[in-house]
Structure formats: C-alpha cells, structure tokens
Chains A and B, each alone.
Chain A
Amino acid sequence: MASSISMQTHRLPPAPSQIINREKVVTFTFEGKEYSAYEGDTIASALAAAGITTFSRSFKYHRRRGLLCCAGNCPNCLVQVGEEPNVRSCVTPAQQGMKVGAQNVFPSLDVDMMSSTQLVDRFLPAGFYYKAFMRPAALWPLYEKVLRNAAGLGEVDTDAQPGYYDKVYKHADVTVVGGGLAGMQSALAAADADARVILIESEAQLGGHLRYSGQSRGETAVHIQATSLAAKVAAHPNIEVMKNTLAFGRYDHNWIGAVQGNRLIKLRTKSLVVATGAYEIPPVFENNDLPGIMLGSAVRRLIHLYGVVSGTTAVVVSANPRGLETALKLIRVGVKVAAVADMRAELDAELVAQLQEHGVIVLPQTTVIKAESGMTRLESVHLRSLDGCHQREVSCDLLVLSTGFMPANELLLQAGAKVAWDETLNEFVLASLPENVFAAGEVTGSHNETDIVREGELAGLQAALAAGFDGNNRAQSLRLRVAPLQARIDELQTEIKQTREQRTAWTAAQLAEQAGKKDFVCFCEDVTSKDIKQSIDEGYDSMELLKRYSTVSMGPCQGKMCNVNALRVCAHYNGQTISETGTTTTRPPVKPVMMGALGGRLMEPVRVTPMHDWHVKRGAKMMNAGVWKRPEHYGNPIEEVRAVRERVGLIDISTLGKFHLHGKDVPALLERLYVNRWRKLGVGRVRYGVMLNNEAVVMDDGVTACLRDDFYYMTATSSGASSVYEWIESWLQGGWKLDVHLLDATELRAAMNLTGPYAREVLQKVCEGIDLSNAAFPYMHAREGKVAGIDALLLRVGFTGELGYEIHVPSGYGLHVWQALMSAGKEFGILPFGVEAQRVMRLEKGHIIVGQDTDGLSNPLESGLEGLVKLDKEDFIGKTSLVFASEYGIEKRLVGFEMPDGTLPEEGNQIVRVGNGPIGLEIIGRITSVRRSPTLNKVIGLCWLPAEMCDVGQEFSIRVRGELKRGRVAKLPFYDAEGVRLNS
C-alpha cells in the first residue's frame, strides 16, 4: 500500500515556456510511495520535482544513477511501469495510477545488495565473462543463473495479455524527421513548393531545443517563436505533422519505419530530410555517473518545460556558449552557481561579466576531473586547469555539463551517408549523402541558428525538387517552378557558412591519471576508460572488436552517450587520430521499439468454405489446412469411415484448387504440364495427372475433365492450388505462346464428395438431366446437370476407394446443395465425414498425399507413380531431370507397410538399421502416413525405404518412441485392389 503523497519541493513558479497544467494533478507510485504530477509532466520530471535523485541502478556495478539527459537517450532513468520494462521515465508522461518501480535491484533501489560488486571490481574487468566462467563447464548452468539474475534490466510479465497494436501505411513526397528549427523550415520550404510533406517529431511538441533554450531573440522569447513557427507548420495544408513518433529506421528506397505509441508506421517517401539535431554528450571523469550530474540540455528541459530544478548549488563545466547561458539561467531560478569551469581559452566577455556580477567564479581552460558523493548524490567536484597547474574542490549538489555534441545521424548512416571527423569542429560532419536524402541543422554539425534556418530551407527545397513535387500531371507547373527554386537553392548554398572556428570539446587527453577509477565511458554497460585500455591491451584495438569485447555502446542507448567518447578513448590509447580509428556500424532501430509494435495488428487470413457455418453448428472439430478451416471430424472419425464403407458419406472438398482452362491449345498445355498423355482425352472424360517441377520433383496432382474441346476443368490439391495457378500462368506468360486462358475457379465453386455404396441412390433423388447408371456415367467421367435445382458439374472420381461423385456447384449455392444431399441421404444413413476419415480411407486405397508422402526431393518414379509417367512423350516439365534420374537408378521407394504386432508408429518415425549412427543405428527411411484401419483392422501405412528393401513381405525396423518395432512391406492398395467398388 502506498504511503502519503510526497511534496513537490523542487518545483519552480509557473513560466510561459512550461508545458505542464497545474490545474490537473495525477498521482502515481514509485517504489511503493505515492507521488503527484501535473498534466504534462513526465514520470521523471514529477519525481525530480519531489526531490528524487536516484532513478535506477547501473547494469554491472549497481551504482546509483540519476537523471542525465532528460531526452530519452541515456539508460539512467529506465524504470518498470506495470508490466512494461525499460520505460524511459524522462519522456513518458505520468499518468494516474501508474505503478513505477526500479529495475533489477535487491532488495530495493535505496539498498541494493548487488552494489557490493564494486568491492570486487578488479575481478570483473571487461570481458570477464569470457574468461571466468569457462571451467568447469558443468557449472555453467549455475553461473548462468547467477549472472542472469545479477545483470539485466526490467522484467517481462510472461502472463501479460497481448496488447492491441496497430499498423498504418503512409506516403509522402518529402518526409522530414525532426521538428526542430531546421525540420520545420525544411517542411515549410518543401510544402510551399507543393510537395506533400510528412513531418515526424519524436516529442509531443514541435520546436526542438528552442522550446527549452531559455533564450530570447530581440524582445521575443525563442520558445514563443518556436510556437509561432509550429503553428504555421501545423496550418499548412501540404504538411502532416506526426508528433510523439519515433522514426527508428531508414531502409532501402526511402522506406521509413516509425512508431507512434502502439502503432507501427510504414512510410514510403520520395525524399527524406533528416533534421534530428545532436545529442549533448558528457565528458569522462572519475565518478561521472553520480546522481546530481546532468547535461546542460537536461537542466534546461527540466527548468523550462516542467518548472523543476534539481539542485541548490551548482557547478557548470562547459566547452561552448550554452554552458554559460545555463549557468545564468540557474542563477535566475534561484540556484547558487558555485563555479563555472570552461575548457575554452576565450569566453564571451558579456556572459562572463554577468556571471561575475552574481559572484560566480569563472575558470577558463579548466575541466572537471573528479566528482565525490555523499550518501545518495553528488557532494563536490574537483576542477583542474587544462595545464594541470591548478586544482580545486568545489562543493555542489548539481554538476551541469555542456562539453560537446554528437550528431543524431543514425538515419543518415543507415541510408548510406558517409561521415568524417572534423578536427576543427571536434565533431563528426557529413562527407556525403545518398540520393534523395538530405540533412539540415545540428545533425550536420551546424550549431549556428542562422545557418540552421538556411540549411532547413535548402534541404526542404532540394528534397521537393528531388521528389519531383507530386508528379501528378503538373509538368508545366514544375517547369515553371524549377528555375526559381534552383536559384534559391544556389543562393542558400552561398549564404550558408558553417562556422569553421576551432570548437572546444572534452577530449581523451583530459583522462590524465585518474584512469582506473570509475570514470564511465558507457553508462549502459558500466564500461570505464580502464576497461577500454585493457581491451586494447588484449588485442581488441579496432572499434568493431572493442565494441563487441567490452560491450561499449551495445546497451539500451546504442552509443548515443558513449560512441564519440569511446572513439576518443580508443584513439587516445591507440595513439591514433579519431579519423584513423573509424567508427562502428549504425543499424535500426535508432531507439528501442516494442516487439508488439513491430508485429502490428493481428492479421491472419482465414478461408472458410460456403458450408463452414453448417459444419460448426454440427459440432465439427475444425482444423487448419493452410489458411483454410476444414472439419477434421464430427466427433467419431471411425464411425465416419464405416458410414462411407457401408452406406454413404459426404465431405466438403471446396478447398480443392479448381481451374478453368479455355482455348484450343489446352491439350498441348496439359501434355507439357503433366507426366502422362492428354491429347486424346475426349469430351466427358476425366484423367488423373501428376505435375513435376523442373527438377522432376512431384509438385502436385489432381484430375482434369474435358468439358468441351476448348474448355477443361482442372483440380489441384488444396495446399497446392495457388502455386499451381502461378506455375501454369508463369508458363503461359513465359513464352510458350499457347492460346489458353487460365482462370482460378477455386472460389467460384463449392465442391463436395458424395461417396459410398449408396451414393448413386442418394444422388438420384436430387439430380436432374444426368443418367447416373454405371454404363452411362462410368468411373473417371464428367457430366453436367442439375443437383437440387442448381447447375452442377459432376466428376465420377474417388479418393476413398468407393463409388463416388464430386459435385461442383456455384459457391453461393454450396450450402443449399449440401443440405439437399444430407436430406436425401437420410434414409440411407448418410454421415458427413471429415479430413481424418478421408485420410484413413485414402490410405486404405493406397493413394498418396503430395507434400505429406512426398517431399522436395521425391520424383514420380520412386513415389509409386511410375506407371503414370510417359517418358516417350515429346516433352513435359521435368522430363530431362526424370530421364537422368531413371538412368541413374532408383535408390529409394515409397511403399506400403503393415505392423505385424499392431504397434501404431507416428508419422515421421525413422526406419533404421544397425549402423554407424549416434546410438549404433543408421536412419534409412521414414514413415510418411500411418493409421489403424478400422476397415482392415490392422495398422497400415506408407514409408520410404531403400530400393533393395522394397519387396513385399520384407521386414524392417522402425524406431517407435525409443523402441525398435518390426514393419513389413505390403502390397498396395490395401483395400479393393481390383477396383470393383470404385467401378460399381
């Protein structure tokens, strides 16, 4: 039960830039204690307002970690929210009733026993797990259990119910990623050029860092200007703004993956503008991970967006103007700034004067080398001049770091952009961009606002031009507009003068002698500069190897905080430049994405026959047959077999593939598709055929009826229907020049098989226009007439081994005809039967099922279909391979078998003999079909055996549930070998 609500002791008075609504309060719990938040607060801002400084424990050493970036980039604020692990609390809105907790702590966030690992850290160097737990191997399961408990992040609730996720497709001429100043300018420029623009922003508002910079331009606060620009963007009819949306990946042909809440967005764009800004990154120094150490941008976010300040006495360490500006802002909100250390030699005199007016000590060419903690957070920092001559300790509970940037260029790198390290700017800058991909703003290395605005416009115009506007019959308009657009592009390219002055940033040269202490390069994986040095000493001296061995940059932040520093440290210890060191590969996603979102909404197609509802109402047990739903049985498959053998049964076979073949060249087509002969098939006749692929592998089988000289009706297996259609169509379109039209009629006709000794009597009651006598309508013939008043095609074929009629009728009448047959059969004891009974009966009759009894290597000569093959035909698909196979010799065969002792093996059981296998057995075959036949009262089946073991009566061994059982080759078919019943 939660205790009383904590006060918001660190909340500032209201200010115009803040995005919280103090009129609406929500409450949530963190570590069992209740906290309040204003509408608009994130979990982290609300906790910071209540004075919370420790948000998590680190991955390896379980050190306290507090807010660092406040932008969802670092791992420090990851929490468990309900059943969802690894939630970035600094960007996740606080909501009423949320249950928030720390991750991977024991017993609590405040007292975590696992932090004792720091005491034995010399036994836990980089890659220790590759060395320490190798022997004895038998203990690995124990090691694994301990390590998995010790490491890791949040917990997955395996009992959680699947959530509702969604997916949407989007299209744009120009997509701009990043809704800051550059992004908004790009979007407006492209949209004004008539391009259809989508602007993607990961946060809830447009404006980027302008929203929380705290600066003014003239009389107007910058955040007001940002709001005004955002309103202009939102009102533009050609721009669709997608807020709270993460563009996580750029794939081939400008396919952008993005997520918005639980919705996956698949976006296809002609041009892409990346205006994702830059990450502020921390320097590396001893204890640089203590709670109370924050990036300058994080401090400004908390102050300006949420009205929260996270300390009372601050030290600012800077390498750029933003540090001094942040120090002034802190003073204005009542924070005492004890000192400003700036790595630069020349500082803005006006800013320095303002700081000194407030009694702030400003130390040029000075850096931070160490932080010290009290019980829970920062207590003081050690500052030292860059020449090492001066050092001082300054007490503070907040250390603000503005010491360098890393461009947020992941999408550009994924697109194939090249970057180069610029020694002057101390940053990566773009060396080249791929086609139809553009960049603007801080991601290019520009931090000058004038340049950012120009780059934004330039990129927008270039992107629109590359997209060809919307390409919608506006060629004339396009021609008129290209020239002025190109002129403006040329003008902008001249105007943009990216600052080329030397930029200062933290460098690895400042590591100095503190190496070996807890100076973290990688916060996610607790990798220190010592770990990197040791990895290099062990030979992992290239960045890609170093990354994998030390795991630097492989944690949740994926290098956002550490990549540049790791490069700097690696280069430093290798005695190389950063350019010589190179960088690592960037892959999607830019930030972690929920698996559910990637999966999207459940869309699993289901196909049902026209009689589906009847089967369900009758109590059928439905089974999946591909995407079809079919009745497996209606309660008693054995009884269903008996009904067919002794009386009559009806099965729904609407799932069969069915094709109309029109044209004078159909016989020629059939000759080429099937292994047997077709030219002399007369009107009204039906023939069974087997289709091969080019390698002579059995692909499908079925019957084809000749209904007119130029019209044939073909059936294929249910599972093979779509591939057979594509196969035939590809041959028809591929150069045979045959005059044939193929139509997939699978959906047009419902089909049912009426079979059993009384099938003719039942059919006679509802059939008109067809003489059903055996003489007039014999086996393997087709007739057209009416059944239950509906035009029907009847094929006298049989898969069950009994007298049978396949009845094909228009699908919309399928249920009507089915019900009429069931009524007509009532006096004969008709039963509907399902797939299981059909499988038993076809096995009794020795019919194979393509794909079950055959596989991707089975040719017809070895599959018991050799009687069908006419190798003396002019040609058919697969003939060349089949001729070769016949000449090479048959090594295995599909044969029937029985189990003398009545044991029922399982399909897939192996046929073995004594040999050199792992348990002294050699696998020589397998069972493909097996059932206990209720008709024959014995176990029968089909199996693959070596050709020399296929004589009827020969015995072999089957491994059944670990035991060897005897099988015996049997003659096929098992039932009605003379075909008397079929032909009755």
Chain B
Amino acid sequence: MIEIASPLVGKVDLAGEQVKLSELRTGLLHIRGKAAEQVLNAAAMAVGDVLKTDEGLLVRLRRDEFVLLTEEVNAATERIAQQIGDQHVTLTDITHGRGGMTLSGKRVNDVLAKVCALDFGKFVNYHAAQSSLAKVRALIIRHDGGDLPTHHIIVDRSMAAYVWDVVWDAAQEFAHA
C-alpha cells in the first residue's frame, strides 16, 4: 500500500520544555448538509464544540458542517455513508487536502498569540475555531493531552510547511523559557 506523502517532510519536531511542536497525522472526514447533525447524532453540539467519540474527534464547524478527525477513515466513511442514506449530506475524505500539527505545553497560548488574533485565554479544552493563523485559514482544535494545553492546527496542505515554519519560529522564545 502506498503511504500518503506528508506535506511536512524534512521538518524537525520542536521538543522544548515549555512548548512542543510535532506533526499531526490523522484522517479527516468532512460532513456537510442540513441533516448532518442528525446523521452524526450531534444536535447537542454548538458551533465550535469538539466531541470525543469512539472514532475520533468530531468538530462542529458551523450549523451544517462538521469535521471528524479519525484514524479509521474507511470504517468511519462506511458507517457515516450508511447513516446518510438518501439524505442530501455530503461526505468527503479531505485527508489529502490538509496538513496538521500539534502544539502543546505550558506556553502554547503565548505562541499562538503571536500568530493568531483569537483570544486563547478563553479557548477552553474541547473547543475549536476557524480563523486566520499566520495569514492562512486554519482550524484550531484544543484537545489537551493530560494536564498540558494542547492545540491541533489544521491548514491547507499546500501551506502546511509555511505554517510549520512560522509557528516553529514563534515558539522559539518560549520553548525553554
């Protein structure tokens, strides 16, 4: 089986005491349609909510749009497609179109404040937002690993290397501070 080529080939992880940056390899399914919340059993989710499910992390981007981060793309695709049936809900595997990275550590808010105008002081765990990050459209998902604040940053594949470089540079002053 041919492996999906990473858009971050050659990038070195940042392993600071206060900030860590590494590549996020995950499958991504995009679900859109008025009936998407029924299909996904996610009517209770507000826009920006992140729900941990057996398949991965379900993110509500807007009223009729969701993204599922999952390691099991094929299985999830099959299950959701069955749920969709004849309804006009569009399911698209967007794994190939995105690049991802994970930023974690005590100083992540300081790093993100250098590249994104969102108020990360109020960006709670299991929350997500789409915003401009380093002048690029990004999906930012807070999903803490243990006690440390952790954010996943998902951007267009073609700009993943650029975003990585900018975030890596922004993190330098905090990595060991």
Contacts and interface: CB of A to CB of B under 8 A. Distances in A.
B5 A747 contact: no
A739 B90 CA distance: 12
Nearest to A739: B88
Interface string B48-79: 00000000000000000000000000000000
B121 A628 contact: no
Interface string A902-936: 00000000000000000000000000000000000
Given A171-B121, A609-B158, A603 B2 contact: no
Nearest to A164: B169
Contacts of B116: 169
A605 B113 contact: no
B111 to A, nearest CB: 10
Given A663-B88, A741-B32, A746-B97, 18 more contacts: A170-B113, A171-B119, A266-B117, A268-B117, A472-B122, A603-B135, A609-B158, A610-B5, A654-B158, A662-B88, A662-B90, A743-B32, A743-B90, A748-B97, A810-B4, A812-B5, A813-B4, A814-B5
Contacts of B30: 743
A789 B2 contact: yes
Contacts of A810: 4, 96
Nearest to A169: B117
- Chain B: interface secondary structure? mixed
15 contacts: A167-B114, A169-B117, A268-B117, A605-B162, A606-B161, A608-B161, A745-B92, A746-B156, A747-B94, A747-B157, A748-B94, A748-B97, A811-B157, A813-B2, A813-B96
Contacts of A816: 2, 5
Given A171-B119, A605-B162, A613-B9, A812 B32 contact: no
A949 interface: no
B121 A660 contact: no
Interface residues of A, number: 44
Interface string A743-768: 10111110000000000000000000
Contacts of B42: none
A603 B134 contact: yes
A196 interface: yes
Contact of A168 (B32, B95, B113, B161): B113
B88 A607 contact: no
B12 interface: no
A606 B157 contact: no
A642 B162 CA distance: 35
Interface in A158-212: 166-171, 196
A98 interface: no
Interface in B8-54: 9, 30, 32-33
Contacts of B81: none
A605 B96 contact: no
Given A812-B5, A816-B5, A628 B117 contact: no
Contacts of A338: none
Interface string B102-143: 000000000001111111011000000000001110000000
B5 A607 contact: no
Interface in A118-136: none
Q: Which of B88, B96, B98, B116 counts the most A-chain CB atoms under 10 A from its CB?
A: B96
Contact residue range for chain B?
Answer: 35 or more
Interface in B150-171: 156-159, 161-162, 166, 169-170
B91 to A, nearest CB: 10
B7 interface: yes
A608 B136 CA distance: 14
A660 B92 contact: yes
A748 B96 contact: yes
Contact of A741 (B90, B157, B158, B162): B90
A746 B116 CA distance: 24
A333 B152 CA distance: 61
A609 B30 CA distance: 22
A654 B96 CA distance: 13
A638 interface: no
A601 interface: yes
Contact of A169 (B96, B113, B135): B113
Nearest to A265: B113
A229 interface: no
Contacts of B118: 169
B114 A601 contact: yes
Contacts of B158: 607-609, 628, 654, 747
A813 B6 CA distance: 10
Best-buried of B114, B136, B161, B166 by chain A (most CB within 10 Å): B114
A662 B135 CA distance: 29
A704 B97 CA distance: 20
B97 A747 contact: yes
Nearest to A744: B97
Given A167-B114, A168-B113, A812-B5, A747 B156 contact: yes
Contacts of A470: 122
A260 to B, nearest CB: 13
A174 to B, nearest CB: 13
A445 B56 CA distance: 61
A918 B136 CA distance: 46
B77 to A, nearest CB: 14
Contacts of B166: 601, 603
A266 B118 CA distance: 11
Contacts of B6: 812
A601 B115 CA distance: 9
A815 interface: yes
Nearest to A814: B5
Contacts of A746: 97, 156
A790 interface: yes
Contacts of B98: 747
A607 B33 CA distance: 29
B105 to A, nearest CB: 17
Given A196-B121, A741-B88, A812-B95, A607 B32 contact: no
B96 A811 contact: yes
Nearest to A660: B92
A813 B5 CA distance: 6
A785 B135 CA distance: 37
A743 B29 CA distance: 12
Interface in A729-744: 739, 741, 743
A606 B170 CA distance: 17
B117 A606 contact: no
B92 A607 contact: no
Contacts of B159: 605-607
Contacts of B114: 166-169, 601
B4 to A, nearest CB: 3
